[in-house]
Structure 1
């Protein structure tokens, strides 16, 4: 029996190649994702090691104190504690970096540690600053800001005065609390850093242990010296372990996201394998029957088919493991390209025992499991089958039609219930999860019903080719429908991929349209002037100067305030209903005055407040009791709306505005230039328009959509391999039939056309059903994610859907190329002689 299996593998090597490629692609995606996860962990560990290296003890505030940082007195105590050889504070200051155009861009300055062991970065070029008028910047800042050693660097101090430094070096920093923040990064001497913001206190002190002291001993001494109230004292090992745990958790979440797409690819690949073995078993009916006649038992036949699956799975796993390295490298490059700060992409390809075992486990197990049903079917071939020809599966489908309809109906009901339940959820996450699960159950129902759908769909899609191409198209349509189970299994793989792609595309385009509508609603102003630095408000006189511009019709400044448990937007009362117009659910915005508030609907519901209620808003500096005069909804309203006067009472120390909305007079053609003349004088002022905001949002959504398309695209490619494989095996199966058609007058070109049309029909079946399901599921998701505050528009991107269908046709033609060429080249005499 072993010799028979080996001989069978040699005889059917070509038939198994495309199936092996399909499963290899699936394995490549899984192993590539695992390698990517390991690479991300390794990269983060190495990078974080820079911020933790040399640290024997860390001291931070634990929240049990009102102090805003570690005081100089505490720093002195730490340095005087027995066992401390050296200690340096770690702090940060938001210090805008001035560009050559005179505009400020966000930057974070940190003090240079006096102890070399406690420096959390590596020198890249030049040297570290040792004078008060010198500065070093990280390599990404030097790249994006176009800075080179020796150039002057201008920083905007807290007093809005520009200070000039000389750039003396660049460095590479690791992953730490400050480096994770956006913006530019630079380092100054401790004295220069303190001069930028004298009131700023460090958030952490790191220390090096003296010779003869362990980390734990120094930590214990610090606890005695400082007391445990108000401070969190950790050894360097504890600090590293806790942070790496957080980093590993983040990397695991992203890996799980990618593995979801890998599972989809494997499911599609499993369908291709199942279909392949089903066809092979059907083609070998006589062979299996003869084996039974000469003494092979059912178990031997079963084991023989599974042995072929094991060999194919093992070979595919080897290819998939190697391909996974390429997939990981490609994903690392793609993810690195999303970094707007121009980070250099370092590709890492760590291979662990877990990854290798997963590659072979997934590849072999999925292949074997996919071959179980066909192998079981092979054991049911009776010896007498050696005397008759192979029947089509049409009768079998008709026999099991009632069972299929019943199973599909049950799944459809379960899916519909989940969809309805998800749509009734108020929170977005459970709504999306439950509705999404319901759509997948509905997809499964369609898959179960697949063989019964092949006939009707084939007749509809085949009408046009039959009318255009005549006899070859009629034969192709008949071939596509003669074996419904096989066609359904072949098209199901493509249908899954297209369904998910279409669903994501509909949701993404709906989100883009909704975002654009929200921008139009939220930004009725022609321009919005904002501060380039988060914690630096725009000067009040800027609003006055803008209002005096002849081309400007109205100016409306806004502000923000954070209370103990909420966040509010402050607007001028004359902007209500014009430049600021949220949807009013109850009450009236016309009643908004100092001492009143309009609450966002969700926040009001959470707090149990309604129109007429009173509530007390508390900040660090003040408190104010306000009356609720309106309930409003809309995007980015914070938790409520206050007047600028109320915001000023809650934040008495803030002098300036968060943003200034500008509305031009009708018919003004050069409004932006007029506004820029005023804003150019302010280094903090940035001009934004609704069109620019839309473009930025659309760019971000397009990046996410392209990334998802690339991930799910692998499943589509595997499905197309399945179509090519089915056609190839069908050509071998129908050798005598093709020869007979040639003998009856069908030309080589017509034979090729017949196979191409058959391939196109199968691709269109999968793509058409997938598009219908994808659009429907997209509607379900957008409806489930809609809320009273934001109702997602439902957009069908007909252009992209048309492109998908066109791509399916082109791919089908390519998939049919080799089988059609093989069929046309077969001799009529040789084909008629085929057993």
Structure 2
């Protein structure tokens, strides 16, 4: 039996190649995802080592110590640093802190940046010097490599920072460095280091957040940590050894990397499901073609178990080979994903590709590859053993008979799935919050997709007749034969098109949702930014100067100026506007009441916040800021929409609640009708302020669209792998079908069909199968997209349902082209087979 299995594998090597490629692609995606996750963890661990190296003891404020402690102290005081340095066993200690300080670029505009103090103890420096040296004087600075590149700074040149008093401070750049992983490096913000004295001079009131220390020779980390804890009195501070602090941070980093890996694995599962369908279809066809061979084996003494084990042995071998190929391909997938992820963001990073290959990844590759292949072959193998030897010696009928025989069971199962899926969709669409709505509705759409897959063999006939009408009218006899071939074995055709249908469904669904979100975002921008230009601050915590609004209002080309401010209160955030801007430059959707009644001492609340505090039009609500100021305000309107915060106040009310906020968050500018050169006139005024940045609705929409297009392209690339696997399935099915129909093709040639007509017949058959899967997938994808956009809509934001006809048409055209390519090799083989040799086939 073993020799028979080996001989069979040798004889059918070519037939199994395409199936092996399909499963190898699925394994490659899984392997690449796991390698990517390990690479991210490894990179983060290595980079974090920069901030953790040399640290034997870490001291931070203990947030769980009680409100009293955290209110009295909001950072590490000089006295605490002195106590740590004096503790027994401490060889050196330094404070670590961060101060936001805008960096003024060569264009004269400020951009967000963060400054840190340079540790006096060399072992505690968390940076790697790249060029030059570290600062040693109060007028010197060093910046990280990325900041030097993006801000176009050179060693020896000036570096200008915008101080807390909005006065420019100038330093000399003496060096560049590479920093490790942290909140600043992960955010992509600019970073620089100063001497401790120069750092403290930027903001004398801001205290460091941590003290790190090095142990003296002869002391362990735990001994020094205990001594430091005693020196501090043990209250209000959390003292950890360097190993404990490192383990805690790495745990957080690993969980973040695991979330992204899980996201990618979801797409890998889709690819594997599609690959499993290709494998299942391949074995079904192979066993149908080997019916007489298997029957003969049964006649000469092979038992059902031996036949079953023989087929599974072939699956194991194929799965093993595919796993080897997938493991190697996974390394390439991981490298590609690392490059793609590194290219995201406004300034693409220089990615160092890492390819860690762990035992877990190798076992997963072989486990997944072999297991999926074997499970996909189980049903065809069992079916082969159930055919009696005498019956199997007869010709294998098409599956149309079986479909009609099992139609009632299929319909019943499909109805159950459809009811469950529809119920989940209804529940999801009624959910109040967005996250449950998305997950429940999404799960319902997948169940409905399963129902369509179950009904696949019953749908093949009607769909094939509709889609085949055009080619039959254009190409005549070859197209009629192709249509008949595509419909005569419904189970096989349904299994072949199902894989493509799954991929196209998900691609179409994501495309519809993304384009709907894009259109909604554009509409929101148009609603939120009715002004021609909006001037905002380039640094979020620095308001625009009040005199800037007056200067803009004095510009001849400007018709109206409307500044806005903000007020942070307990558990809420309010936007402040001038009353004369309401309904013109500021026009949120009013649910009840009237914005015309908004005066000093009143407030318009957002609908969900009003519900939370139990307020309504005519009632009053108490607004209390975090610094203790409070005022009772009368509610004059209930609003909905985005960018409102939790309510809207007048600028006068905001000034009373937050008198320390001296400036504006933004300034809306409306030009006079028909003026030209308006932007230049506005820029002339804003150029006087390093904080002022001009934005327009068109620029905001372009930025939003670019971000959404990047995400959509990434998802297309991930799902595209499943589509590629499905197209391999079509090519594989067609190839095996050509081998199965060798004698039939020869007979058609003998009856007068030319080589060109035979090739055309196979191409049309391939196109029909591809269009069948793509068309059903597009219909389902658009429908599921409507479900998700409706489920994600709320009172605040109602997603517009947009069907991107151009993109959908491109997908359908791509399916046709791919089908033609998939049919090229099988058509060439069929056309080259001689009539005499084909007629001699058994």
**TM bracket, shorter-chain basis:** over 0.9
Q: Is 1:285–1:385's contact at 8 Å kept on the other side of the alignment?
A: no
Q: Is 1:140–1:341's contact at 8 Å kept on the other side of the alignment?
A: no
Q: Secondary structure of the residue that 2:668 maps to in structure 1?
A: strand
- Counterpart-to-counterpart distance in 2, 1:179 and 1:614: 45
Q: Is 2:106–2:151's contact at 8 Å kept on the other side of the alignment?
A: no
- Counterpart-to-counterpart distance in 1, 2:636 and 2:235: 44
Does residue 385 of the first structure (1) align with residue 386 of the second (2)? Answer: no
Q: Which residue of 1 aligns with 2:33?
A: 33
Q: Which residue of 2 aligns with 1:777?
A: 784
- Counterpart-to-counterpart distance in 1, 2:543 and 2:261: 40
- Counterpart-to-counterpart distance in 2, 1:541 and 1:573: 19
- Counterpart-to-counterpart distance in 1, 2:785 and 2:280: 29
- Counterpart-to-counterpart distance in 2, 1:624 and 1:72: 38
- Counterpart-to-counterpart distance in 1, 2:760 and 2:324: 37
Q: Is 2:102–2:112's contact at 8 Å kept on the other side of the alignment?
A: yes
How far the C-alpha of 1:624 sits from its partner, in A, is: 2.3
- Counterpart-to-counterpart distance in 2, 1:731 and 1:228: 81
Does residue 564 of the first structure (1) align with residue 564 of the second (2)? Answer: no
Q: Is 2:630–2:657's contact at 8 Å kept on the other side of the alignment?
A: yes
Q: Which residue of 1 aligns with 2:552?
A: 546
Q: Which residue of 2 aligns with 1:607?
A: 613
Choose from 303, 309, 333 the match for 1:327.
Answer: 333
Does residue 753 of the first structure (1) align with residue 760 of the second (2)? Answer: yes
Q: Which residue of 2 aligns with 1:57?
A: 57
Q: Secondary structure of the residue that 1:783 maps to in structure 2?
A: helix
Which deviates more from structure 2 when the two are superposed, residues 647-656 or residues 396-405? 647-656
Q: Secondary structure of the residue that 1:180 maps to in structure 2?
A: helix
Q: Secondary structure of the residue that 2:217 maps to in structure 1?
A: coil
Which deviates more from structure 2 when the two are superposed, residues 500-509 or residues 572-581? 572-581
Q: Give ranges in structure 1 of 5+ residues lacking alignment.
A: none
Q: Which residue of 1 aligns with 2:812?
A: 805
Does residue 340 of the first structure (1) align with residue 346 of the second (2)? Answer: yes
1:739-750 superposed matches below 5 A? 739-750=746-757
Q: Which residue of 1 aligns with 2:114?
A: 108
Q: Is 2:568–2:626's contact at 8 Å kept on the other side of the alignment?
A: no
Q: Is 2:134–2:142's contact at 8 Å kept on the other side of the alignment?
A: yes
- Counterpart-to-counterpart distance in 2, 1:546 and 1:817: 67
1:425-824 superposed matches below 5 A? 425-621=431-627, 622-824=629-831
1:408-423 superposed matches below 5 A? 408-423=414-429
- Counterpart-to-counterpart distance in 2, 1:175 and 1:62: 23
Q: Which residue of 1 aligns with 2:160?
A: 154
How far the C-alpha of 1:176 sits from its partner, in A, is: 2.2
Q: Which residue of 1 aligns with 2:253?
A: 247
Q: Is 1:288–1:381's contact at 8 Å kept on the other side of the alignment?
A: no
Deviation string 1:453-496 (CA, Å, 9 cap, x unpaired) is 00000000000000000000000000000000000000000000
Choose from 180, 186, 205 the match for 1:174.
Answer: 180
Q: Which residue of 2 aligns with 1:201?
A: 207
Q: Which residue of 2 aligns with 1:9?
A: 9
- Counterpart-to-counterpart distance in 2, 1:400 and 1:462: 26
Which deviates more from structure 2 when the two are superposed, residues 207-216 or residues 30-39? 207-216
Deviation string 1:585-612 (CA, Å, 9 cap, x unpaired) is 1122122222222111112222222223
How far the C-alpha of 1:53 sits from its partner, in A, is: 1.1
Q: 1:193 to 1:341 in 2, by over 3 A?
A: farther
Which deviates more from structure 2 when the two are superposed, residues 161-170 or residues 316-325? 161-170
How far the C-alpha of 1:386 sits from its partner, in A, is: 5.0
- Counterpart-to-counterpart distance in 2, 1:259 and 1:73: 50
Scaled by the length of structure 2, the TM-score of the pair is: 0.98
How far the C-alpha of 1:167 sits from its partner, in A, is: 1.2
Q: Which residue of 1 aligns with 2:66?
A: none
How far the C-alpha of 1:390 sits from its partner, in A, is: 1.5
Which deviates more from structure 2 when the two are superposed, residues 211-220 or residues 758-767? 211-220
- Counterpart-to-counterpart distance in 2, 1:464 and 1:417: 38
Deviation string 1:397-432 (CA, Å, 9 cap, x unpaired) is 010111111111110010000000000001000000
1:17-166 superposed matches below 5 A? 17-63=17-63, 64-66=69-71, 67-166=73-172
Q: Which residue of 2 aligns with 1:301?
A: 307
Q: 1:182 to 1:587 in 2, by over 3 A?
A: farther
- Counterpart-to-counterpart distance in 1, 2:577 and 2:219: 59
- Counterpart-to-counterpart distance in 2, 1:401 and 1:10: 38
Scaled by the length of structure 1, the TM-score of the pair is: 0.99
How far the C-alpha of 1:579 sits from its partner, in A, is: 0.8
Q: 1:639 to 1:10 in 2, by over 3 A?
A: same
Q: Is 1:143–1:342's contact at 8 Å kept on the other side of the alignment?
A: no
RMSD: 1.1
- Counterpart-to-counterpart distance in 1, 2:356 and 2:663: 52
Choose from 831, 836, 842 the match for 1:829.
Answer: 836
Q: Which residue of 1 aligns with 2:270?
A: 264
Which deviates more from structure 2 when the two are superposed, residues 85-94 or residues 679-688? 85-94
- Counterpart-to-counterpart distance in 2, 1:142 and 1:676: 27
- Counterpart-to-counterpart distance in 2, 1:90 and 1:177: 14
Q: 1:829 to 1:181 in 2, by over 3 A?
A: closer
How far the C-alpha of 1:583 sits from its partner, in A, is: 0.7
Does residue 369 of the first structure (1) align with residue 375 of the second (2)? Answer: yes
Deviation string 1:634-662 (CA, Å, 9 cap, x unpaired) is 01211111111222222221111111011
- Counterpart-to-counterpart distance in 2, 1:651 and 1:190: 32
- Counterpart-to-counterpart distance in 1, 2:279 and 2:84: 67
How far the C-alpha of 1:222 sits from its partner, in A, is: 2.2
